[in-house]
Chains A and B, each alone.
Chain A
Amino acid sequence: MSKKNLKRLDLIFKNENDGEVILVKTMARPTHDLINDLIISGLKGRGGAGYPTGLKWKLASEAEGDMKYVICNADEGEPGTFKDREILTQVPHKVLIGMAVCAKIIGAHEGYIYLRGEYKFLLPSLNEMIDDFHVLMNKIGFDFRVKIFLGSGAYICGEESALFESMEGYRGEPRNKPPYPTNSGYRKMPTVINNVETLAHTYSIFKYGPEKFKDLGVQDSRGSKVFSVSGDTPNPGIYELEFGMSVKKFVDDFGDGDAKAVQVGGASGFCVPRKKFDKTKIGYQGKLTGVSLPTGGSMMIFNSSRSMYNVLHNYLDFFVEESCGQCTPCRVGTQQLLLGIEAVKKGERSSEYLDRLLGLAENMRVTAKCGLGQSVANSFSSIVENFKEEMIY
């Protein structure tokens, strides 16, 4: 068993069968009260970008459109992330109720769950849940229908505008922003798109009130977070923990005693080396003291037997394959970074070449069109800078 220094929480996965009661109670309240509750709670998006959920719903409620949509992002493709699958397996009704309340607030009648193709095996159970949900919608007299849209094996389709393109029958290529989804999303209509976990949290907020949620976590990062723990750990799996913990505390609980690095946030996240475990906290960037790392919840632990060169190589391989190829900095940049570290490793290039590659990665951060290309530098720079010797020898 793992040591339990960190408090385990049980908000999301608690099996509560009061969906109908909560829904009826919530739907009876004025929409501005509901939006206010979300804003007070401090809930931010759990899909990675961390946009305040209350504000997103407010903007969509104010936007003009013939149709509006609520979309649940269940594309979960970030390496090391598997929490949304678990939420959709254990408590899908919380996600659906969150979608219904959102639909009422913004004025939508259609909702979609964009489910990654790799999770197609969940379809029978999810469709059953949705059938029950539609019965409930009829019973309370609210005109809202949810359908599942299945992905087909493309990580980039988790990016919200690529996801809309995919649903519309196109290649999953991200759009320029602005406009943002709250004004122009699916079929160019006002759309709220939220991560699975975000929607499930709204259920708890409407049930228990915003204060209970706000009391958890720290400034700028409120509430609990579902973490996907994998790698060199005796206890891989899903854990709901409070925001604001240090990587050190996390490793004390989940490491195998020999952790040399933790990758926070998957391949697009940051690598934290042992010497920085103490100073690094998990949460959204904000006014916190010290470094604070946001994450969709992926925590991968590497012990001292692992080559960080191999880890970085694996991530770059992933990006080369999953880049949509639409913009040059990302399409060419990911390939050059991969070839570059191979050349340094083989001794075909001197170690100074790593600095040029770091420059290239930082350049991608500002010139790439979407979050995929922009965040390659997160893992690239944090691994190369902290494990330079491993890149060379």
Chain B
Amino acid sequence: MTEMKNLVKSLADNYGRYHESLLPILQGVVEKKRFLSEEAMVEVAREIDISAAHVFGTASFYSFLNTSPMGEYVVRVCKTITCMMHGKNLIIQELEKQLKIKLGETSHDGKFTLLETNCLGQCHKGPAMLINDTPYTNLTPDKVRDIIQSLKQNDLVSNAATQVN
């Protein structure tokens, strides 16, 4: 079996082979692979016995279920009102400078993708961003530089760790 087959199978073993398992399984693939390839979606469809078109139609609805390749670190900067008022443009400029990419792009080494997103529920600590699952708040250009430098040095992806201010 291919690696993808194995991954999807183990996710389906875990979440069950129901229609209700679709999102959790797709989320599991994205967590491991950062995006849903066509192969992945066909495999999920086969595993829980629904049409691949349905899997694609569902995945494409959700902004966190990427259907094109993403970097190892997906950086999502909040662009909603309070973060905008508190300088999210400067944050994006600094990220573009540090990562040498423009908004929407992935760095050449495949490490970083830079995106904007809507309100992250951290408005009292704006500007805010998510890197994979971890929120970073009260951002300044200096702080952004430090965060990116430490991620560049540190190859370990630290998911789901709450950042403390």
Q: Is the A/B pair a real complex?
A: yes
Question: Which residues of A come within 8 Å of B, CB atoms?
Answer: 76-82, 84-85, 116-124, 149-155, 166-172, 187, 228-232, 236-238, 267, 300, 302, 306, 310-311, 314-315, 317-318, 321-322, 324
Whether A79 contacts B118 by the Cβ 8 Å rule is yes
**Shortest beta-carbon distance from B88 to chain A in Å:** 11
Given contact pairs A79-B119, A120-B133, A314-B80, A152 touches B85 in the complex (Cβ within 8 A): no
**Shortest beta-carbon distance from B71 to chain A in Å:** 17
Whether A230 contacts B63 by the Cβ 8 Å rule is no
Inter-chain CA distance A176–B81, complex, in Å, is 31
Question: Which residues of B come within 8 Å of A, CB atoms?
Answer: 18-24, 26-27, 50, 57-58, 61-65, 79-82, 84-85, 117-126, 130, 133-135, 160-162
Best-surrounded residue of A124, A149, A169 (most CB of chain B within 10 A): A169
Whether B62 contacts A154 by the Cβ 8 Å rule is yes
Whether B120 contacts A121 by the Cβ 8 Å rule is no
Best-surrounded residue of B24, B121, B125 (most CB of chain A within 10 A): B121
Output the nearest chain B residue to A154 by Cβ-Cβ distance: B62
Chain B residues lying within 8 Å of A149, measured Cβ to Cβ, are: 23-24
Whether A228 contacts B124 by the Cβ 8 Å rule is yes
**8 closest A-B pairs by CB:** A169-B22, A236-B124, A153-B64, A152-B62, A153-B63, A171-B61, A230-B123, A152-B64
Main secondary structure of the interface of A (DSSP, over half): mixed
Chain A residues lying within 8 Å of B82, measured Cβ to Cβ, are: 79-80, 230-231, 300
Given contact pairs A152-B65, A169-B20, A232-B85, A118 touches B134 in the complex (Cβ within 8 A): no
Output the nearest chain B residue to A172 by Cβ-Cβ distance: B61
Whether B20 contacts A82 by the Cβ 8 Å rule is no
Inter-chain CA distance A310–B119, complex, in Å, is 16
Inter-chain CA distance A238–B121, complex, in Å, is 12
Whether A82 contacts B61 by the Cβ 8 Å rule is no
Inter-chain CA distance A321–B118, complex, in Å, is 9
**Shortest beta-carbon distance from A157 to chain B in Å:** 8
Chain B residues lying within 8 Å of A76, measured Cβ to Cβ, are: 121
Whether A80 contacts B123 by the Cβ 8 Å rule is yes
Output the nearest chain A residue to B25 by Cβ-Cβ distance: A169
Whether A318 contacts B124 by the Cβ 8 Å rule is no
Chain B residues lying within 8 Å of A84, measured Cβ to Cβ, are: 121
Chain A residues lying within 8 Å of B162, measured Cβ to Cβ, are: 121-122
Whether A118 contacts B57 by the Cβ 8 Å rule is no
Whether A236 contacts B20 by the Cβ 8 Å rule is no
Inter-chain CA distance A232–B26, complex, in Å, is 39
Inter-chain CA distance A302–B82, complex, in Å, is 9
Inter-chain CA distance A154–B117, complex, in Å, is 10
Whether A169 contacts B23 by the Cβ 8 Å rule is yes
Chain A residues lying within 8 Å of B65, measured Cβ to Cβ, are: 152-153
**Shortest beta-carbon distance from B11 to chain A in Å:** 13
Given contact pairs A79-B118, A118-B130, A121-B135, A237 touches B62 in the complex (Cβ within 8 A): no
Q: Which of B50, B61, B80 contacts A79 (CB 8 A)?
A: B80
Whether B21 contacts A81 by the Cβ 8 Å rule is no
**Shortest beta-carbon distance from B127 to chain A in Å:** 12
Q: Which of B57, B119, B133 contacts A121 (CB 8 A)?
A: B133
Inter-chain CA distance A328–B10, complex, in Å, is 41
Inter-chain CA distance A206–B135, complex, in Å, is 35
Q: 23 pairs across A/B with beta carbons < 8 Å?
A: A76-B121, A77-B121, A79-B81, A81-B119, A119-B121, A121-B134, A121-B160, A121-B161, A149-B24, A151-B64, A153-B62, A154-B61, A169-B18, A169-B19, A171-B61, A228-B123, A230-B123, A231-B82, A231-B85, A267-B81, A300-B81, A306-B85, A310-B84
